[in-house]
Structures are given as structure tokens and as C-alpha cells.
Amino acid sequence: MKKKILVIHTGGTISMSEDTETGAVKPSDTNPIKERTNELLQLADLIVEEPFQLPSPHITTKEMLQIKGIIERKISDDHISGVVITHGTDTLEETAYFLDLTVKTSIPIVVTGAMRSSNEIGSDGLYNLISSIRVAKCEEAKNKGVLVVLNDEIHTAENVTKTHTSNVSTFQSPQYGPIGIVTKRGIIFHHAPTKRECYDIKDVSKRVVLIKAHAGMDSSLLLAIRELGFDGVVIEALGQGNLPPATIEGIKALLMDKIPVILVSRCFNGIAQDIYEYEGGGKHLKDLGVIFSNGLNGQKARLKLLIALETTNSLKEIEEIFQV
């Protein structure tokens, strides 16, 4: 008996075509991937949903919540065995991580996409979708959180990130690598996540801004963020977690207003840590009340803070959430 797999199409390059005259890639009148559903039915009993067709830069937490709702409803009503979501690659890792933090289930949830549109030479969309369905119906994929599958590799939503603007092998997991591979003969997992976390939220109502530190940075942006009434800020700091001394005034102003300040590193690898004790150094910032994230990149730390603020206003509890 074939497993019942929910496929949610949301848009992105995987659902677009290239204009043969201009070379522009844009949405088609019909999703070309949906036209291959009959072929895909050989793999599993598919339930296909298409809640919207959006390029991934148009995706917000509103759409992420919509996807979350569809998954939870189908788990309850149709007793599905797995989920595959097709998504544009620009914000794919963010939707995947949002679902990883908010959907409580043991069944596999797989997010995939494409770097080349359906009619380009070397199109990777259909292949990635087939690979993702194979992973989603695999028993070994259970209890591993949300997975990202492209280019024959299986990554966790927490660690994966887009590393190249156009290469088909763009999705990588710095420091950790993929947790499995897709082969012609089967799905192979060689390691698994050691922890899972999930937060019960119904809405995302807070405002969190993400900014990047640079040489000579001052407090101007930080003070503006305070005046604009944001609920939180994530800073991609220098090195192991340091900021120029001219930012301290702004940091203190935000913390005085009980606005959480989360620190990650702008570096590609490594974890932000409270090591340096000079003005603006990590230890100085930690002593002021800045919260250090346990290895997330900036865009994922922003999502986690948005979710955390739906569950608590306590800076101590938010800090504990960021140490998980």
C-alpha cells in the first residue's frame, strides 16, 4: 500500500519557466510541476495543495503560518505519512526553520526547491521533488525535524543555508554537513539531530529587525530601532561576538526598554561567544544583558526571536530558549 504524502506547492523557481526570447524567469499560467503529478503518483498516494504561488522574497510569516495550518489539518484529517513543500530558494531555509520550531509531529516534513526553472537545460526541480517524496515516505526520516532536500543531500532546517546565488549545490550546512544522502537505491542517513524543540503559537504579532555590524558602526540604527517601536533586534556581530564601542549607547538604550538584543556572528562558521572583555567585546555585551545565540545565523535567529516573543516577555526565558 502506497504511503499518503501531502505535497504543498508555494511557488518559486521550481514552479516557473524561462522565457525563451528574453531569458527572464517568471511564473507561468499553470505550475509546470503539477503537470507531472501522474508520474509522481507512482511514488506515493499524493494529496496536492497549492495555497498560493509566490516568489520566495514575497513570503512572510503569514504564509509560513498558513503552511503550518495546512500541515496540522492534514495530519489530523487525512492521516498523512509525510509532507513535501516546494518553495523558492531565497527564503526556503527560513520557512523550513519556522516549521521546524512550530509544527509538533514525528512524520517527515521536507522542503525543496530548484535553482533552474522547469524548461531550462539542467532543470533540477522535478528531480528534487522526486527525491523529497522518497525522503518523506522513508521510515528513517521520522523524528528528525524539518528536512531540506536538494541536489541528493538531506539537511536539517536548523543548520542549512543558501551559500551561492545560482549554483545547484547552493544549500549547505556549514560546520556540520548534510545528515544524509539520496541515492538511486535508497535513502541513507549517517547521523541525526540530538535535540528537538517546538513552540505552540497561533500568530506572529511582534516586530523584530535584523542588522549587520561593520567597522565604524555607531548607535544611530540602534536608537532608530528603539524609536520605531520594534519588539526585538538581532545583530550579526563581528567575529566571536563583538561590536564597535560606539554601539554601546544604543545597546544600553534598547536593553533599558526591555527590548531583547540577540547576538549572532556574521562569520560563516563558528558560534558567537562572550570571550573578549574590552569595550564592545562579547563579555562586556553579555554583562550588559545581550543574549548570545547558540550557533544560528541571523535570519533564523530573527525567526526564533519572533516565535519566542509569542510565548514570553521574560528576557531570562528568552535567553534560555536561545541556548537550546
pLDDT digits (tens, 9 = 90+) for 191-210: 999 999 999 999 999 999 99
Residue 39's H or E segment, with its range, is helix 37-40
> Are 226 and 250 spatial neighbours (Cβ–Cβ below 8 Å)?
yes
> Are 234 and 277 spatial neighbours (Cβ–Cβ below 8 Å)?
no
- Provide the residue type at 119 as one letter: N
Q: Looking at residue 15, what is its pLDDT?
A: 85
Q: How far apart are CA 101 and CA 91, in angstroms?
A: 16
Parallel, antiparallel or unpaired: strands 291-292 and 261-265: parallel
pLDDT digits (tens, 9 = 90+) for 160-199: 999 999 999 999 999 999 999 999 999 999 999 999 999 9
Q: Looking at residue 288, what is its pLDDT?
A: 98
The residues that are catalytic are: 13
Q: Looking at residue 30, what is its pLDDT?
A: 65
Q: How far apart are CA 242 and CA 321, in angstroms?
A: 21
> Cβ contacts of residue 255 below 8 Å, gap of 6+?
261, 288, 289, 290
Cell numbers 534598547 correspond to what residue?
254
Q: Looking at residue 301, what is its pLDDT?
A: 98
Q: How far apart are CA 45 and CA 12, in angstroms?
A: 24
Percent residues over pLDDT 90 in the chain:
87
> Are 264 and 233 spatial neighbours (Cβ–Cβ below 8 Å)?
no
Q: Looking at residue 120, what is its pLDDT?
A: 86
CA torsion, ordered 195, 201, 203, 209, to nearest 10 deg: -40
Q: How far apart are CA 226 and CA 207, in angstroms?
A: 11
Residues constituting the chain: 324
Q: How far apart are CA 119 and CA 15, in angstroms?
A: 10
pLDDT digits (tens, 9 = 90+) for 106-159: 999 999 999 998 888 889 999 999 999 999 999 999 999 999 999 999 999 999
Total-model pTM: 0.95
255 has a pLDDT exceeding 80: yes
